[in-house]
Amino acid sequence: MAKSGSNTDQKKLVRHLDEVPPDRRATATYNFVPLPDKAFVSSEPMPDRSFLSPERLHGLIELTIRTETELYTRAAYPPAEDSKEVVESELRQAFYHHGVAAHPVIPGSTLRGAIRNLVEILGHAHLTRFSVKHSGRRAERIRDETLVYRAVADQSSPPGRQYNTKTFLPPIGRPDLKHFDYPSPRVRAGYLDVGADGAWSIRPARQHQGTSFIRVHLNLIRSAAIELTHNSVIAGVWVAPARPELHPVGKNSPFRLRYAKSTALAKEPRSELVRGTLVQSGEATKRTMHAVVYEQDHERPLILVPDDIKRAFEDDRDMQRGIACRKVRSSGDPLFYLVDAKEQLVFLGPTTFFRIPYPHRTGEYADVHAADDGLDLAESIFGTMTRGQDARRGRVEFEDAQLGGDQADPFLGGAENGHRWPSILATPKPTSYQNYLVQTAPEKDELKSYIDDPVKETVVRGFKRYWHRGSAATDLHVRPPADKNKTQFTRIRPVRPGVHFQSRIHFENLTELELGALLASIELPSGARHHLGMGKPLGLGTIRLEGRTRLVNPVQRWLALDADGFIPDPENEDRLRRARAAFERAMLQHHVQTSGPPADTLWAIPRLDALRRLLEWDQKPGRKETLSPDPTIDGRRARERRVLPAPSDILLGPLESPSNLPPRDPASASASAEAPESEPPVIGELRALLDGEDVSAGEKLKAVEGPLLVQLEALPVGGRRDAWSLIAKAITENKKTRDARTRIRMRLLPEPP
């Protein structure tokens, strides 16, 4: 039994653009499966776990896993290794294992997480729920956070206009005068005060002539023989106070900015000067104006920094960015802060124009259907901890996946014993609201952001998934990438493509509907693949997963000590067919009742069609179509805030219908586990190199002629012929490639092929 709302009592959610114009399209390694208009929840009571009910389904699913691309999940390591950086500890670089690093193991928890995520999506689950956390109601299952932003002089986007006109740069007098406070009088200066208990407060700075800080020109700093370095803070300088006045922006500009500007600065005290702390604003070579914060005013009360503001500030402060900001964290650190009309603290930052919080948290944009009772299918099958004392234990268990059969070295071949330095991955940032929130118009000045009404005007895009991108070989380097931000480096030892693992899922007391959901998350259409482990944005983690499901009759199981209780195949297949049909029927009915129009099959439901495209392997988009641009390189595009299209606007056209695919043969799945396909690791490495779409033919040939060719020469003649066949097929002969191709062929096949 299940409960599903009607389209008459449930308002449909805002939907993303069907098509984004070419000049406004963004690309990314990820995309989203839209939220359901209403969550599907089950009214079935949770079974008594003290016995196996004869009315429910029990059994196991034997899994065969084949890596399609490189795969990596980090090993558990001794606590003593915590003191070392990952790049200094081979124990921290190893693939997960059970004590022997040469025998990789895929953790059952990794498999469990991947399958649960698919059950959530396929089963029309809540993206999140609300619970009481910290203060107020907070969303669970997603990161419910207060994001902060900065948009100085940006009048082309709604957040930019709010940041400037309404907050930091309010106009003075008539709008046509183009006179502005720089910044608003509500921006003050002070110093951080950290209590013994770790609580934060702000000690206001003294006021001189109506302001707590004053600007000084770079020429004045140089005249005082004060040397600036990156993010300089120089205490004990002496400056001449001044009243805020209007100053021209340029020679011919009509704009005027009101701020206090000093005419004198010194390192030693003078009668006409007052004490302060010089705070560098940005890079010293690019900024001509910096600030002096007047000394602490101990006669004024401390301003308490609430915990939620402190957390939001620290999260933003510690975020990796192209240019490091000054870190405000210790007592005495100068800072700037913003107050509202009631003199209540809004936020704080290291410079006069700092990042401020959006008015809404991310969780507010995840429609949680708070009125729904009952558990969704993922909560029912896998369990849930989000309900306090009503926490539910799951009814599925995943074994760790073991290396299957006799296989060659499962790790990448070549130098460094298979260790690689992956290209640096930046943390996905929900501050890119043009990607993470549903957009109804493509133009920058019409984009929805975290200033818009949650759910009414926009919602989160949905369940985040990464595209399959093919081999990650071009992003797995033998040497560290040439990048100045070394704190983001890591080193891994991934499993190569073509390696087989075996695992099992045990389940008990499931309904037909629940087992059908579990099977649907495993038995994907033939062109689709699952994702596991780290490095998905680079292409790691694509696997082919096949399962053989065997149901158990608990009564027959315990009639004799040597009985396995497995249900005979004809009855087994009939029950599985009924389970699959029960789940598909329930989802199609739920879709019609809450969203519509009717769909013919499970995968024809529009939001699940988006999932189908994101899972696609055989017809996956090219790597360039799913590449996240580096904002530190392409800053203009980042400022344009181009919109991420829907999956159906990237992978166009119909996909092969799952209903036309031949049924999976359990016997063939079992046979593949017993006799896995295998190829020499160096052939797998060659294949991965040649599959790289962003690497030129010349670069591929150059890579082949390195240490890789020495390993290829050591293969038997059949292996060398296979290697040459791959090279000849991947790189056509022309004037630029002819010489290198000839050299490689002569070394692999001294006799003419």
Q: Please spell the DSSP secondary structure of 311-328, one letter per residue.
A: HHHHHHHTS--SSPPP--
- When mean pLDDT is compared across 178-182, 313-317, 452-456, the lowest value belongs to 313-317
Distances (CA, A) of 438 to 462, 612, 617, 640, 645: 9, 20, 26, 17, 10
Cα distance between residue 692 and residue 703, in whole Å: 12
Q: What 3-state class would DSSP assign to 654?
A: coil
How many residues does this entry show for the chain?
753
* 667 pLDDT higher than 60: no
CA atoms within 13 A on the CB side of 111: 29
Phi, psi of 221 (to 5 degrees): -65, -45
**Would you state the structure tokens that stand for residue 477, as one six-digit string?**
């380097």
pLDDT at residue 559 is higher than 80: no
- In the chain, the amino acid numbered 161 is R
pLDDT at 672 over 60: no
Q: Is the pLDDT of residue 81 over 90?
A: no
- Cα dihedral sign for 255, 171, 348, 202? positive
Mean pLDDT of the residues in the chain:
86
Crossing angle, helix 512-522 and helix 569-594, to 10 degrees?
90
Higher pLDDT pick, 497 / 748: 497
- pLDDT score at 293: 98
Q: Supply 276's token pair.
A: 């302060």
Candidates 644, 673, 396, 532; CA nearest to 74 is: 532
Could you report the per-residue pLDDT of 490-524, keeping only the tens digit for each?
899 999 999 999 999 999 999 999 999 999 999 99
What pLDDT, on the 0 to 100 scale, is given for residue 141? 65
- Short-list 419, 422, 418, 450, CA closest to 434: 450
Percentage of the chain with pLDDT > 70?
88
Bridge partners, residue 3, by sequence: 41
DSSP 8-state secondary structure symbol assigned to residue 183? S
CA–CA separation, 325 vs 119, rounded Å?
41
| Structure confidence at residue 386 as a pLDDT band (50, 70, 90) | low
pLDDT of residue 188: 97
Reported as a single tens digit per residue, the pLDDT across 614-665 is 999 999 998 888 988 765 555 667 778 999 999 999 998 787 655 434 444 4
pLDDT, greater one: 242 or 388: 242
Structural contact between residues 101 and 94, judged by C-beta atoms closer than 8 angstroms: yes
Pick from 157, 114, 168: nearest CA to 431: 157
Q: How far apart are CA 38 and CA 309, in angstroms?
A: 33
Stretch 63-88: mean pLDDT: 89
Return the residue matching tokens 């992003």.
475
CA distance 378 to 541: 23
Beta bridge partners of residue 132, listed in sequence order = 137
Q: Which whole-number Å values give the CA distances from 689 to 13, 425, 702, 715, 746, in the listed order?
A: 44, 20, 11, 18, 20
Tokens of 8: 């008459």
User: What is the predicted pLDDT for the residue at 753?
Assistant: 40
Residue with tokens 């006179």: 179
Strands 256-259 and 179-181: parallel
CA distance 311 to 307: 6
- Mean pLDDT is highest, among 107-111, 419-423, 558-562, for 107-111
Residue 677 has pLDDT above 50, yes or no: no
* pLDDT higher at 169 or 49: 169
pLDDT for the residue 395: 94
The angle that helices 738-748 and 717-730 make with each other, rounded to 10 degrees, is 170
The widest CA-to-CA distance across the chain, in whole angstroms, is 101
Q: pLDDT tens, 427-442?
A: 568 889 999 999 999 9
Q: To the nearest whole percent, how much of the chain has pLDDT over 90?
A: 54
Query: What per-residue confidence (pLDDT) applies to 262?
Result: 97
Cα dist from 411 to 108, 220, 298, 419, 646, whole Å = 20, 61, 63, 9, 36
Q: Which of 248-257, 270-279, 476-485, 685-694 has the highest mean pLDDT?
A: 270-279
Specify whether the CB–CB gap between 213 and 291 falls below 8 A: yes
pLDDT digits (tens, 9 = 90+) for 406-415: 888 999 988 8
